[in-house]
Amino acid sequence: MDDKKGKGVSRRDFLKRVGAGSVGAAVISKGLLDAPGADAYPTEAVEPAKGRSIVSLKVNGKAYRIEVQHRQTLAEVLRDELGLTGTRIGCDRGECGACTVIIDGRNMYSCSQLAVWMSGKEILTVEGLAKGDKLDPIQQAFIDHDGPQCGFCTSGQIMSGKALLLRNPSPSEAQARRALSGNLCRCGNYNREVEAVLAAAKAR
Amino acid sequence: MAQKEFSVVGKATPRIDGFERVTGKAEYTGDVQLPGMLYARVLRSPHPHAKILSIDTSKAEKLPGVKAIVHSFNTQVTWASGGLTQKRMIFNNPVRYVGDAVAAVAATDRYIAEDALELIEVKYEKLPYVLDAAAALKSDAPKIYPKGNLSVGDGRVTAPIREQWGDVEKGFKEADKVFEDTYISKHVNNAQMERRVSVAKWDGAKLTVYASTQGISNARGDIAKALDLPLSRVRVVCKYMGAGFGNKNQAQDYDMMTAVLAKTAGQPVKLEFTREDDFIGMHGRWASEQHYKVGVKKDGTITAVELNAITNMGAYRKQSGDLTGCDFYNIPNYKKVVSPTHTNTVVAANYRAPAYPQSVFGFASMLDQIAFDLGVNPYDMFLKNRVRVSKGKSQFTSNEMEACIVEGAKKIGWQEKWHPAGASKGAKLHGIGMALGGYPFRLGLGAATIRLNPDATAHVIVGVVDIGTGAKSTMAIIAAEALGIPLDQIQLASGDTDVTPYSIGESSSRTTSFTGTAVIAAAEDVRKQIFAVAARELEAKPEELDLKNGIVFLKSNPGQKMPLVKAIRKVESEIIGRATTNPTWPEGFDGKCFAAHFCEVEVDRFTGQVRLTRYVAAHDSGTIINRLTATSQVKGGVVQGIGMAFTEELLIDRPTATPINPNYRDAKVPTHLEVPEIEVLFVDASDPYGPFGGKPVGEPPITASVGTIANAIFNATGKRFKELPITPDKILRAIQV
């Protein structure tokens, strides 16, 4: 692979550079250690293996303490460890926005956040928007305005739209477009996604 | 049939699976998690053309967590749909492009699989290579295949592709003027959001593949053939699909790799492509060099067209490599010779309307230029020469191209806004352009089963997967309309070959026509059974009855009626209706969708930047089954055309033959910021052979888009851009001369 040239920085190279991983260590995911009320347990209760750490974070209002590999991204932990597969991975290198979640009120690419950085953070994913069967207005607007075509970018579009509406309840069309501009949609459904965000703003 | 007669068809209906799509609950292939599942990664060739002398996996095997490694020396599996002319394996030796798969590893996690790739030692003997299609056809070019680089092979398709009617020499003699020019398009990637992914597991001798495929039935066939399994032992499942635009037709090499890895490891395996794998390891739209010779009368009427072209198929010919942009014009004398050619570059195959947008760009630019040279308004040029006869001989079953042109032009205000090319002055140059497009409307094999439950709800069982088009919703709407029960009473069972009947797959814009026709026939089968029962109760003949909105009634006296539930109760079980349909065109007829696109641009004279200010897409897709999703389809197709026109091009570093922009950022796919409101107009139309008069919508929208934009840039600048993409640097160089 040495004579591969001209490649951009991959997420993997990036992770290597930040010295995250002990390459090649045998790892079996311990996954989810505990769920609600996990904060009550002291960190020392479980000794993490080399290259792993325990992280306490809140996802969709629920507290978790989980052991993660240093090289695991938040997107991977959400999907593989917490079973929250509504967060999609489109590029895994911070370009497409399919993995967008809201971290402490800001929309961010979860593929570009290491899970170990998430200690003490509050994370909102697409699964956390609806209250039971009652959809968030932005979700209903995405259905009514045909926001999803293939639907793979939809969670990310919705989370960026939601983050916008949290900070600006009545955005202009230009503001909505700008706010979603980090979310690619190869189906090209951009008109619809912006329409849906603006409709959600009106529905509030 | 006028649209007002329908109860569900023709309305704007939200998708039946919208809830799953907006809550994250939709299960895509990559979301499938199985107990004991391993993760796989693919090692790819760093060389454009090389013989693999040896593959040493001993170090990789020692890495804890590595469970299986497969490559060309231990795995000989043919990928039948990977090459139309040459036999293509899932691992090839020699490797023929940078990105050709060399080996695949399954390990307990993704990181270990990636680490293992770096421990595999491959010895290559480099071979001479060629990157350009024109150079590849020269007699002294390195041969990628024994017979040479013109993609002849011994397969199902020929090279060159030839098509002709009339007599071009006679046509050129009849012309007042003959024009010749060359247009060039580049390789662009489908770049669908869902990376390619496959999950395979074996239960004894039965293989289940959770695939990300556009067609589960064909995928099952391909996998069974590749692995020499009976069809009953292969199950292909695809519940939600993150698009493909043609690059996930059938089964792909990674489906077979995953199956073999799972077999070797004795554990389920998930193989996810990286985004880079996706750009270089699969395929994009074929690049082309199109040379046109066009004869016209003084008023612009075409007398003859000759097209000689080369298409760059990369290392394998997975699909046709044709160019079909002349299809939308009336050409009395036509001759086409297209040479699909092999080079040591990324494979080119199907991307939404595979042979169209690049050749519509070429031919619509050609006609637009001729109109300018003759002093004819392009609107008159396109209207005059619009297609009336298919392939020089057949009649169309419906053709509203004229309405598309007239109504689209009216909507954008062509007559008020058009000015001769180059007439716009100032810092921002205004331009307006148009082009014609469309797509074949095909008929063919479809199958459907409908189960009418005792409570008068129904399950529609079809082999479709919804790649984003809204096909599931379309099938449900067609079923609701055909059965005469409300849409919310319909559930769709789809996407699992163990359960669902054959479907052609969502490619070539065929689902609505092929499977939709079968759904209607299955519904008729159900209704026949219902009417037989209800006839006794209502003291009428079965043929005198109708069913609407869950009520069975006498057509001549709607007051004489009974609820559907009561009729089913008489049968004392569910009612199964089924149909396999395979209609064909009557002799001398052919089907097509039509489109005329229009746009306005603003070119910054000092930066060469182009802003699309308005876009109008007028389409004849027959009866529109669902106006909401159909409109989205048109908008999306245009957006992909915007990328192709302005920015997208796979760039290859010549000294290493390596793609240098195999990622979203550098491939420059359009974002929210480049896309204006796309105004969609469906002209009043209906086709006697489409389900409820419907024709395809999926592929037509991209066909006309690139040519439309190119012609608007010409109108703004007075400069003709003959090579895609039309980037600011090219514009600036041209207008500053």
Does residue B351 contact residue B362 with C-beta atoms inside 8 Å? no
Of A10, A88, A150, the CB nearest to B467: A150
pLDDT in tens, A41-73: 444 455 788 899 999 999 999 999 999 999 999
The pLDDT value given to residue B4: 55
H/E stretch holding B383:
helix B378-385
Q: Is B14 on the interface with A (CB under 8 A)?
A: yes
Q: Determine contact, residues B591/B440, Cβ cutoff 8 Å.
A: yes
Q: How far apart are CA B490 and CA B479, in angstroms?
A: 8
Average pLDDT (B136-163) is: 91
Instruction: Give the DSSP H or E segment for B49.
Output: none
Q: Give the nearest chain A residue to B677 (CA atoms).
A: A191
- Minimal Cβ distance to A6: which of B47, B633, B660: B660
Cβ separation B18–A126 shorter than 8 A: no
Chain A CA closest to residue B679? A191
Which residue does chain B place closest to A142, by CA atoms? B22
Q: Give the integer Cα–Cα distance in Å for B364 and B54.
A: 51
**Cβ-defined contact of B19 to A192 (cutoff 8 Å):** no
Q: What is the set of domains in chain A, with CATH numbers? A: 11-122 (3.10.20.30), 137-203 (1.10.150.120)
Are A191 and B677 within 8 A, CB to CB? yes
CA-angle at B601, arms to B599 and B604, nearest 5°: 170
B25 touches chain A (CB under 8 A): yes
The model's pLDDT over B426-476, given as tens digits with 9 standing for 90+, comes to 999 999 999 999 999 999 999 999 999 999 999 999 999 999 999 999 999
Q: CA-to-CA distance for B392 and B388, rounded, in angstroms?
A: 9
Question: Is B469 touching A (CB cutoff 8 A)?
Answer: yes
In this prediction, residue B33 has a pLDDT band, given cuts at 50, 70 and 90, of very high
The pLDDT value recorded for residue A2 is 39
Contact check, Cβ <8 Å, B274/A10: yes
Measured in residues, chain A has a length of 204
Residue numbers in A near B113 (CB within 8 A): none
3-state secondary structure of B392: coil
- Using a 10 angstrom Cβ sphere, with 0-12 exposed, 13-18 middle and 19 or more buried, the burial of residue B298 is exposed
Q: Is B23 on the interface with A (CB under 8 A)?
A: yes
> Burial, A50: exposed, middle or buried (Cβ in 10 Å; 0-12, 13-18, 19+)?
exposed
- Contact yes or no for B274 and A92 at CB 8 A: yes
Burial class (CB in 10 A: 0-12, 13-18, 19+), B2: exposed
Give the number of beta-carbon pairs within 8 Å between A and B. 212
Confidence of residue A204 (pLDDT cuts 50, 70, 90): confident
User: Rounded mean pLDDT of chain A?
Assistant: 84
Q: What is the pLDDT of residues B682-717, one digit of tens each?
A: 999 999 999 999 999 999 999 999 999 999 999 999
Interface check B627 vs A, CB under 8 A? no
Catalytic one of B272, B481, B600, B699: B699
Q: According to the model, what pLDDT value does residue A46 have?
A: 56
The predicted structure's pLDDT at residue B192: 97
Residue of A114, A127, A190, A198 best to disrupt the B interface, most CBs of B under 10 A: A190
pLDDT tens-place string over residues B1-24: 444 589 999 999 999 999 999 999
What are the C-alpha distances in Å from B478 to residues A108, B8, B11?
41, 8, 12
Report the residue of A78, A146, A194 to disrupt the B interface, i.e. the one with the largest count of B CBs within 10 Å: A146
Q: Is the pLDDT of residue B163 over 80?
A: yes
Comparing CB atoms, the residue among A69, A85, A91 nearest residue B24 is A85
Judge whether residue B86 has pLDDT over 90: no
Q: Does B467 touch chain A (CB under 8 A)?
A: yes
Q: Is the pLDDT of residue B298 over 80?
A: yes
- Judge: A83–B33 Cβ closer than 8 Å, yes or no: yes
Out of A21, A143, A180, whose CB is closest to B18? A143
Q: pLDDT tens digit string along B574-599?
A: 999 999 999 999 999 999 999 999 99
B699 counts as catalytic: yes
**CA-based torsion, B225, B231, B235, B236: positive or negative:** positive
Domains, chain B, with CATH or none? 32-127+194-242+248-280 (3.90.1170.50), 284-442+588-736 (3.30.365.10), 444-581 (3.30.365.10)
Separation of alpha carbons B646 and B643, rounded Å: 5
For residue B635, give the nearest of A23, A28, A189 by CB distance.
A189
Place of tokens 């302005």: B646
pLDDT of the residue at B737: 64
Could you tell me where the DSSP H helices lie in B228-333?
Answer: 253-265, 275-280
Q: What is the DSSP letter of B9?
A: T
User: What is the nearest CA distance from B678 to chain A, expressed in angstroms?
Assistant: 7
Q: What is the pLDDT of residues B602-630, one digit of tens each?
A: 999 999 999 999 999 999 999 999 999 99
pLDDT-derived band at A27 (thresholds 50, 70, 90) equals: very low
User: Token digits for A39?
Assistant: 């904060």
Which sign does the torsion angle of CA B384, B385, B390, B392 carry? positive
ipTM: 0.97
Q: Which residue has the tokens 């669908």?
A: B192
